[in-house]
Amino acid sequence: MAEFLQTAAGFPTVLFTSALLVVIGFWLLVLAGAADPDSFDADVDTDAVSLGGVPVSVAASLLIAFGWFGSLAGSVLLARAGLSGLPFHLLRVAVFAGSLVLAWGSTRALVRPLAKLFPDERGPSRADFIGLTCTIRTGRVAQDFGQAEVVAGDGSTALVQVRQSGGDDLTLGSTGLLYAYDDSREFFWVAPYDDTLDPRG
């Protein structure tokens, strides 16, 4: 155990150890519902390094995990070789570089089959519904009650909870406009829709 801890906290493994702790913390937040595994997809292009097809968080997690394992194994073997001085330090740098190459190759090989589990396009999110019209599916819509059917841009339909702040006449079959979403209570604010005011005609 002492050898493991010493190696994990020493160069070059400590670089991967620090990143691995961040990865573990991130996935714990995902499990708790406090983080989105797709949150980095718009910021990083993994296709440029042949790791596309899965969420960035998945590719990065695999890369770091493989890098940590390779660095740990290489560092243990190097320590047991009994080297010292400049050759030892140069080989530690080589272990770090080799671990990166190993991690990239292993992640690239694993990403290909995993990519089949992830669709190329994400489904519509709740934010995509804001600004769309809907059809009321309950007898009325009040400040504490109401449902409506909305058609997403891809043609799929969804039944959503809706509320209104005033006393407008929103009844079964009438058309409303979803203009805001309440994250905490998970419903849309809706207002009557007047197609005569629609600039699209």
pLDDT 10s digits, 25-71: 999 998 888 888 877 776 677 877 888 888 889 999 999 999 999 99
Q: Mean pLDDT over all residues of the chain?
A: 87
DSSP summary character for residue 188: E
Look at residue 201 and tell me whether its pLDDT is greater than 50: no
Please give the pLDDT value at position 189. 95
Please give the pLDDT value at position 199. 46
Q: Is 32 exposed, middle or buried (0-12, 13-18, 19+ CB in 10 A)?
A: exposed
pTM of the model: 0.59
Contact 190, 177 (CB under 8 A): yes
Please give the pLDDT value at position 148. 96
42-56, 140-154, 177-191: which has the minimum mean pLDDT?
42-56
What residues are paired with 150 via a beta bridge? 134, 158
Please give the pLDDT value at position 116. 78
Higher pLDDT, 118 or 75: 75
Look at residue 158 and tell me whether its pLDDT is greater than 80: yes
Neighbours of 30 (CB within 10 A): 15
* Both structure tokens of 63: 């890369």
Look at residue 128 and tell me whether its pLDDT is greater than 90: no
Contact 192, 171 (CB under 8 A): no
Please give the pLDDT value at position 70. 95
Q: Distances from the Cα of 30 to the Cαs of 37, 51, 56, 151, 197, in angstroms? A: 7, 21, 14, 29, 43
pLDDT-derived band of residue 73, with 50, 70 and 90 as boundaries?
Answer: very high
Mean predicted confidence (pLDDT) in 142-154: 89
